[in-house]
Amino acid sequence: MKRMSVKVSAILLVLTLTAAVAFAQGICPPASITGDIESILSRGYCLFIDGKYKEAQVEFEKALKKDPGNPVALNDLAAVYVKENKLDKADTALKEALPRAKGYKILVNRVCGVQDICLAIEPYKVGSGNQDLGQLVEMNIKMVEAKMAAEKAGAGAGYPGGK
């Protein structure tokens, strides 16, 4: 009987560890994301949602070195700038992303809001998919510009996501 409980305990331990590893991989970054750029962007996104903005910024900049002007990297870098309240830099990054983002198809894995202003995305696949990144970037530009205008008018604290 004791032998059976040891076996059951061992099996439960293995299953628990396997489930924990699978769960961790399934969350951040997903193991199924295998493309080079996608993996870098996914790591950056995961760091971002964990509140590690400087580390996320490093990943997004790494993606930009590999693929200059990558609109997903620029969009997510803008989200970092929003978190740091560097709205002018966020606006610049988004406007740099927009020309290439129009018609840029992506398959989105996850999206998160940033202070109700800017959306950071984690792509499952870039270059093909069912969503046009341009629409998201345009929406982010409008939200960042509205926040900048509200802050300039002294309404920053009353604006959604304000201080």
Class of CATH domain 30-158: mainly alpha
Torsion angle defined by CA atoms of residues 19, 25, 27 and 28, in that order, rounded to the nearest 10 degrees: 150
Q: In the chain, which stretches have pLDDT less than 70?
A: 1-27, 29-34, 109-110, 112, 114-118, 124-128, 155-163
Handedness of CA 58, 61, 66, 72 (dihedral sign): positive
| 19-49 CB burial, b ≥16 within 10 A, e <16 | eeeeeeeeebbbeebeeebbebbbbbbbbbb
Q: Indicate the domain borders of the chain.
A: 30-158
* Per-residue pLDDT reduced to its tens digit, 122-134: 776 666 677 888 9
Burial of 60: CB neighbours in 10 Å, binned 0-12, 13-18, 19+: buried
